């Protein structure tokens, strides 16, 4: 057995030993039937222990070899294994190069089939990449008009990392403009969440954006966007003219 297959086998054995059916059933309640998800049911604290343990065992290997292990985990489709792969990618962030975008984007397109996987990849590894290499922003605008709902959600969620790192907010509103009338609730929640995080930095600008568009903005997106605004501003945003 190769070293790569041995590590994968050990990870999967340990995950199976920690399956909790009651926890799995509770998690499933947060994932709609129209989202493809394979779930073992390993509690977050135990899952993180496994992630850290096995990354420590491989961290000194070449990045492309670790990416190869990630790909094998992703191919299983299990949410826990996707989570390990995306976490390992984030742990490699200091070694990111522009050529790594092709790998990260391919994972988004091939393996993300639910909001949990989307946010796991975009909130950390892909989010860091875009923060580090903002010249890739035009690719996000292509995601925002994709037929794939998860690419559209990703175009917003991936910017949250940059917002929190005090990067310019202009891309946030460009993406919000593109997604403004999207009919998919997962996309609406995604760009609403992005605007909510932006409101921590510039609440007045987010408020002005919402007030400008509230007559056409889906209520789901609007409610997410104004969640952190003051009670008075929220009242104005929710008022029906």
- Per domain, the residue ranges of the chain are 1-95, 98-241
Is residue 28's pLDDT more than 80? no
What number of other Cβ atoms are within 10 A of residue 30's Cβ?
A: 10
Q: How would CATH label the architecture of 98-241?
A: Alpha Horseshoe (1.25)
For residues 11-37, give the mean pLDDT. Answer: 82
- How far lies 206's CA from each of 58, 156, 187, 213, 227, in Å? 43, 15, 18, 11, 11
The pLDDT of residue 241: 67
User: What pTM was computed for the model?
Assistant: 0.93
For residues 91-99, give the mean pLDDT. Answer: 97
The pLDDT of residue 21: 85
Distance of CA 179 to the CA centre of its chain: 16
The pLDDT of residue 166: 97
- How far lies 187's CA from each of 99, 151, 207, in Å? 28, 9, 20
pLDDT band at 37 (very low <50, low <70, confident <90, very high): confident
CA-nearest of 238, 115, 123 to 184 is 115
The pLDDT of residue 30: 73
The pLDDT of residue 1: 53
């Amino acid at each position: 057995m190769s070293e790569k297959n041995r590590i994968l086998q050990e990870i999967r054995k340990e995950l199976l030993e920690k399956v909790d059916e009651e926890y799995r059933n509770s998690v499933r309640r947060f994932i709609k039937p129209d989202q493809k998800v394979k779930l073992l049911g390993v509690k977050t604290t135990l899952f993180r222990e496994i992630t850290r343990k096995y990354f420590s065992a491989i961290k000194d290997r070449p990045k492309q070899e670790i990416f190869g292990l990630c790909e094998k985990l992703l191919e299983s489709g299990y949410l826990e294994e996707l989570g390990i792969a995306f976490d390992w990618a984030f742990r490699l962030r200091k070694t990111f190069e522009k050529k790594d975008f092709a790998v990260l984007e391919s994972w988004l397109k091939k393996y993300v089939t639910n909001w949990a996987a989307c946010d796991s990849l975009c909130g950390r590894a892909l989010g860091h990449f875009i923060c580090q290499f903002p010249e890739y922003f035009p690719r996000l605008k292509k995601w925002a008009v994709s037929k794939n709902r998860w690419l559209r959600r990703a175009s917003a969620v991936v910017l949250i990392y940059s917002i929190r790192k005090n990067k310019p907010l202009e891309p946030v509103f460009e993406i919000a403009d593109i997604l403004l009338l999207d009919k998919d609730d997962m996309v609406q929640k995604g760009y609403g969440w992005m605007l909510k995080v932006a409101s921590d930095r510039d609440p007045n600008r987010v408020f002005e954006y919402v007030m400008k568009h509230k007559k056409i903005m889906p209520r789901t997106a609007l409610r997410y966007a104004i969640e952190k605004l003051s009670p008075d501003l929220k009242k104005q945003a929710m008022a029906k003219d």
